[in-house]
Amino acid sequence: MTPRDHSGMDVANKTILVTGANRGIGRALVNEALRRGATRVFAGSRGQPGIADDRVTPLTLDVTNVSQIQRAVETVEGLDTLDILINNAGVAIYDDLGNLDILEQHIHVNFLGMLRVTQAFVPLLKRSHGAIVNNLSLAALASLPMIPAYSISKAAALNMTQSLRALLARDGVSVHGVVLGPVDTDMNRGLEIPKASPESAAAGIFDGLARGEEEIFPDPASASVAESWRAGTAKALERQFMAFVPETAGYTTSFTVDQSAEEVFDAINNVRGWWSGDVQGRTDTLGAEFTYRYKDVHDTTQRITALVPGKRVVWHVVDSHINFVKDRTEWNGTDIVFEIDRKRDKTELRFTHQGLVPEVECFDACSNAWGSYINGSLRKLITTGAGRPNPKE
């Protein structure tokens, strides 16, 4: 599976859950989400969130309590869908690694709590092709030796964020890590250093999410390392390791022709020549997006995420509206992959729509359509120079 190329998520008209919502950054996130037009905010807290707004639904949620997590899932599922989960709850206690109880406490809340809440809500997020936002810390990148146990828990949470990002990409769920610098909350009360306000940090988090950033650096201290992080070794290795995630299953078909690999490659990229005359945008440039529309039945936007001459073309579906199925966005986050292989004096084209699996409602209709476009129209375009695309409306 190609790693998801995030298209970003705006908070407006979305349903959000924030843990640790009663104070500090969590509370600021709730207020900012409401200000930006969220439909509903589930405010998870151990006590009362104390936020009076019709769009806020309080949830009793200690992130270390398995039965409370389960009840929270049932409440959210009973009332709404969930688009964005913000794992914000956290503890920070000064220590010197001399007391393992303190380390365990950090691991239970900041790491295992985050993972438990995430796993519980993943089924809902898969349905909405939603986003997970994990509040981490600069201490995840390098230890802050006056809070080493906290640093360890945040480093573990960063590592977990990377794994979940790779594992959930195939389901169209994006996973973001927030690398926070010092913010003026109870957590670092008494520490006399420059601190960002919780309000500005909350705004920075939603801005980064809207831009689709994998790591979000929402305050001046963290922003100063953003560029080096994104261009650095850890990020490069993450991308390299991501490629080991097994390919996602999906509808697949193949054929062999006498033409060269280059001719097959050129024909694939001539999308108007075989899929539809009603394609808008460039179809032969890496990073470009194009739309395919068929009446009011099918309207999808593809981004070209791989374009290797004579070998491979990948389109990532960033948006879809398919009007004959219940979940009209079923194609979102899926990948359409063309692999070209030269075998003796022939060329094989293997087509896979990763994510178009039998569990998906449009599987039968969509795979039938692909079958005739690929084995009929595209093959004809390669072998005769004329395909059979849908005519322009």
Residue 295 annotated in active site: no
Question: Which residue's CB is nearer to ligand NAP, number 50 or number 287?
Answer: 50
Catalytic residue (choose from 14, 154, 292, 373): 154
DSSP label of 272: G
Q: How far is the CB of 219 from ligand NAP (least distance, A)?
A: 9
Q: How far is the CB of 135 from ligand NAP (least distance, A)?
A: 4
CA distance 258 to 371: 20
Q: Which residues sit at the interface with ligand NAP, rule CB under 6 A?
A: 19-20, 22-26, 45-47, 61-64, 88-92, 109, 113, 135, 137, 180, 182-183, 185-188
CA distance 337 to 167: 19
Q: Where are the alpha helices (DSSP H) in 111-259?
A: 114-128, 148-168, 198-210, 220-230, 233-242
Q: How far is the CB of 31 from ligand NAP (least distance, A)?
A: 13
Length of the chain: 393
Q: How far is the CB of 179 from ligand NAP (least distance, A)?
A: 8
Catalytic residue (choose from 14, 94, 126, 150): 150
Residue 150 annotated in active site: yes
Q: How far is the CB of 42 from ligand NAP (least distance, A)?
A: 13
Question: Which residue's CB is nearer to ligand NAP, number 63 or number 271?
Answer: 63
CA distance 318 to 321: 11
Question: Which residue's CB is nearer to ligand NAP, number 64 or number 269?
Answer: 64
Contact 257, 264 (CB under 8 A): yes
Position with the least CB separation from ligand NAP: 24
Largest CA distance in the chain: 76
Question: Which residue's CB is nearer to ligand NAP, number 90 or number 389?
Answer: 90
Burial degree of 43 (CB within 10 A; 0-12, 13-18, 19+): buried
Strand arrangement, sheet containing 312-322 = 250-257, 346-354, 335-343, 312-322, 298-308, 289-294, 279-280
**So which residues are the catalytic ones?**
150, 154
